[in-house]
Chains A and B, each alone.
Chain A
Amino acid sequence: MASAPVEIPHRPAGVYPATNLMNVDGFFVVNMGRQHVQLTLRNVSGSDLDGVTIYLEGFSDPGVSFVPRRLDIGLLRADAELPLRFTANFTNAAPDASFVSFIVEADGYEMRRIVKKIFVTRVDYHKPSKTYTVKTPQGDMEIVVHRALMGPEQGSCREGEAFTVLIQDVSYTLRPKPSYEGTRGPLMYEDPWWKIALAILAGLVLLGAALYDYFSDGTLDGGSVSVGGTFEETGPSVCCTKISSSASKGEDDLVAKGLYSAAGGIATVAIASDDPDLHWRGQEATEPPAGELTVGEGVRLKIDYVESPSPGVPFAIEGEWAYTRETDVGSTYVHEDRDRRENVHVLDRYEVEAPSTHDRASGPLVVTAQFVKPGGDLCRGGELLVTGHLVSEHGPYRQFQLDDAGLDPDADPNDGVYTGAYWFSRDAGEKGDPGGAWYLFVIAQDVNTVKEGTDPFEAAHTVGGVVVTTQLQLGIDKPCELNHDAVITVV
């Protein structure tokens, strides 16, 4: 009997449960502790499969713990790409590339074991030197943020806590292990590590209050760092607004927190990461003579926000940067440049459909959304990770998933219509879902769709996990906007 004809086409990604958003490029972050392992299961049989089940069998890193659980999917339509998730605790994980295995079964087939690579990192902070360290198995990347735009303006948000931080002037150094000859060393994690380290750091800073341990001082002992005291704050300020100004009295403002976090990452992705990235070009321009070993590399990057770097918007951004290479004979090679880039993680438009009034006695609230790429094609199937966020005017916050897999309530797989549902509880008590106005946000993130086995240097040109919808409009020296996609009156 043949094995179940399914595949998991892309690298499983880390999703932070509090915000329900994917981490930049799907990396798992030790500092975040418990995270969802997000994957897409694809039916490649050419026909419908019945009795489909899947469970997570194990991790190669024994430091990752999880509670066994099987997902009973049932019918998986032909060619469907179904987003699924399991939850695991990465608190004791080692920062490294590691593996996770899944067991998939379907009626009439033998079980199939699918082993996928995942990436795990950790960010430490050394208070005296104000240096962040992004841990990798091939060497630590030390990052110093010299200057940042901070938000909110005085008094706009909760006291003492920055809602957004846009890095303006940053430097990082990398000591490759081992030293290498030629233009480039081994690619960390076989992935564009330097490309996403800044984005992960930028995103994490914004999630600070929600992290189990914030940054760890290298010991993961519970030490914390004040964002406001970390950077030099000069010049203009990012003026944020709480979700409550547009939607409700969000008790923890996690929608806003997630989007502001995403915005911090998107800016650095746009200027420093998207193909061809500056580290790559710096290496290209500073090839050392034969026999010299590169013992250190560094980049200083000064970002000019010529437009507000709002997620999903093709904003322009400029950067002045210098790449420096040090070799074992004491030589230093420098390449400087100035770039103007545009955010490429965008949609042409997107549309969300939801009823203006929902009677909870009639069944679940069903929401559909379509996302149009630049050029007019619809996003389909596993191209996007789409999450629904409902915020009550009375405070409670709920999450749900949308997919294009043809699994009820979605009508057909890969038709470009993403559908999700949320069952409002009938109990409107303290822990139930209150009636009244609920503000809906449908947030889409692109997915790193690089095929396994792709040449690492080719793979390095793709970054995923970036928000492509436009709910958050950042303002620099003017108010931000956080716009919901629909308001639903729940009765």
Chain B
Amino acid sequence: MGVQLVVRDGSPWWMSPDIWVVPGSDPTGPPGQPVVGQRAFVWTRVQNVGSTRVTDASVRCWWADPSTMITRASAHRIGTSAVALEPEETKEVLCLSPWTPTSANGGHQCLIAEAFSPADPLPPHLASTPFDPPGDRHVAQRNVTVQLVAPITMMAFLPFMAGGAGGAVQVLVRRMFLEELDRVILAQLGARELREADAEVRVSAGPFWPGEPVEPFDREGLKLRRGEPRTLALVAELGEGLADGTAVLVAAEQVDERERITGGVGLLVVGSEAREREQQEARDG
């Protein structure tokens, strides 16, 4: 069976448990959510499910602005690491090149990792070829953002790119529940203790215009024509707000003409009294 490198997809596939971030200056510190302007380190869990040892595998890590369609041309390479794996062995690989999230899109970015070796190369691709985690075991994606909000917050949103290469697509939005998520992911996001919020949540999506206020949309999906990349906003109306320590997870997924999910973004909105205090202190100067 030779060398077969795998970075596992998640459920949904764009929520891989094999990619995570360690914020801060110590790459061996606990996982958590990256902070805009502060460096962080990306880790990837890589398996060799083949029957042959590999001593010269590479692991590339990328970040991209939130999008349901990411290519090597639109992503930014963080760094490249090496790994050696026996058959059936799994290792956690550190990307020692630090990643500093920028304030573009409020600091929400997604991460991609791909593992390959001369004996197990990536499928042929161009810079414009989208990453294909569900179709390629070498690559996986983590595309979820944690947003801390004051408990009184009524709405949260996440701008993201959709459409692009290929044919026409639909963008569908939905509420997910925490129990749908691999608990490992919550731990990696520093959100292990979160509870599902009781709040009535309505999810919508629509065009996003930088600088313009975002309002809830009246639709839970929209169609994009072939070759029509658009910046959209994923909006979560939070009803009565979120109590401290409770959370709501919403998602937007892109579906192609063959009804395959070709990408997705997640937004985990967390009620936080600490965040409320921060905002109050900022207002008080």
Contact = CB atoms under 8 A, between A and B. Distances in A.
A115 interface: yes
A101 B96 contact: yes
A67 interface: yes
A60 interface: yes
Contact of A61 (B27, B57, B91, B97): B97
Contact of B96 (A65, A67, A69, A99): A99
B79 A57 contact: no
A68 interface: yes
A452 to B, nearest CB: 15
B79 A68 contact: no
A65 B79 CA distance: 10
B83 A57 contact: yes
Contacts of B58: 68
B93 interface: yes
Contacts of A61: 97
B81 A58 contact: yes
Contact of B55 (A55, A62, A100): A55
B30 to A, nearest CB: 16
Interface string B91-109: 1011111100000000000
Given A53-B84, A57-B82, A62 B77 contact: yes
Given A69-B55, A70-B56, A115-B27, A58 B91 contact: no
Choose among B77, B95, B96, B117 the residue with the greatest number of A CB atoms under 10 Å from its CB: B96
Contacts of A65: 80
Contacts of B98: 60
A56 interface: yes
B84 A70 contact: yes
A103 interface: yes
A59 B84 contact: no
A111 interface: yes
B57 A57 contact: no
Listed from nearest, the 10 A-B pairs whose CB atoms lie closest are A68-B82, A70-B55, A58-B81, A68-B56, A58-B96, A62-B97, A62-B79, A70-B84, A60-B96, A101-B96
19 contacts: A53-B84, A55-B55, A55-B82, A56-B82, A57-B93, A58-B94, A58-B96, A59-B96, A59-B97, A61-B97, A62-B77, A62-B79, A62-B80, A68-B56, A68-B83, A69-B82, A70-B55, A99-B96, A101-B81
Interface of B: 27-28, 55-58, 77-84, 91, 93-98, 117
Given A56-B82, A68-B55, 7 more contacts: A55-B55, A57-B94, A58-B80, A68-B57, A100-B96, A113-B94, A115-B27
